[in-house]
């Protein structure tokens, strides 16, 4: 158990809908990272927050947004969903802001868009 929790574990929704994925980092970790894992693209970095502020942005679509709250949990919002958004979404946390700090991954949320 990494100490990182993600809810829900599975999500099935329809095209055009909006969903929110939630992540609680390990106790004491200030950084939260979001990744998308798909069969064709592999593991893609989406966005990083550190202590409530956005610190790095990757291949995140404009339809996607995230935030980190004062209690350090984070949410990833996906809107106007398309079939291609079906993937496993991971959250990871680490102590510091540098990406080379060990990242602890949650179990993921599997999103299926029908």
Partner 1 sequence: AQSVTQPDIHITVSEGASLELRCNYSYGATPYLFWYVQSPGQGLQLLLKYFSGDTLVQGIKGFEAEFKRSQSSFNLRKPSVHWSDAAEYFCAVGPNSGNTPLVFGKGTRLSVIA
Chain residues binding partner 1 by CB under 8 A are 2, 4, 33, 42-43, 45, 48, 50, 55-56, 58, 90, 92, 97-100, 102-108
User: Please, which residue, 19 or 50, has the CB nearer to partner 1?
Assistant: 50
Name which of 18, 56, 10 is nearest 35 in CA terms: 56
C-alpha–C-alpha distance, residues 3 and 27, integer Å: 8
As given in the structure block, the two tokens for residue 41 are 């693209």
Q: How far is the CB of 78 from partner 1 (least distance, A)?
A: 19
User: Please, which residue, 22 or 55, has the CB nearer to partner 1?
Assistant: 55
User: Please, which residue, 53 or 80, has the CB nearer to partner 1?
Assistant: 53
Phi, psi of 65 (to 5 degrees): -145, 160
Q: How far is the CB of 113 from partner 1 (least distance, A)?
A: 20
Residue 11 forms beta bridges with which residues? Answer: 111
């Amino acid at each position: 158990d990494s100490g990182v929790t993600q809810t829900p574990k599975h999500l099935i929704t329809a095209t055009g809908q909006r969903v929110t994925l939630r992540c609680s980092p390990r106790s004491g970790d200030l950084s939260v990272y979001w990744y998308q894992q798909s069969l064709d693209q592999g593991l893609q970095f989406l966005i990083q927050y550190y202590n409530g502020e956005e610190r790095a942005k990757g291949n995140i679509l404009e339809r996607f947004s995230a935030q980190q709250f004062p209690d350090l949990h984070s949410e990833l919002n996906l809107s106007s969903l398309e079939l291609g958004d079906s993937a496993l979404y991971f959250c990871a946390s680490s102590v510091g802001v540098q990406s080379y700090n060990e990242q602890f991954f949650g179990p993921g949320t599997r999103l299926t868009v029908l």
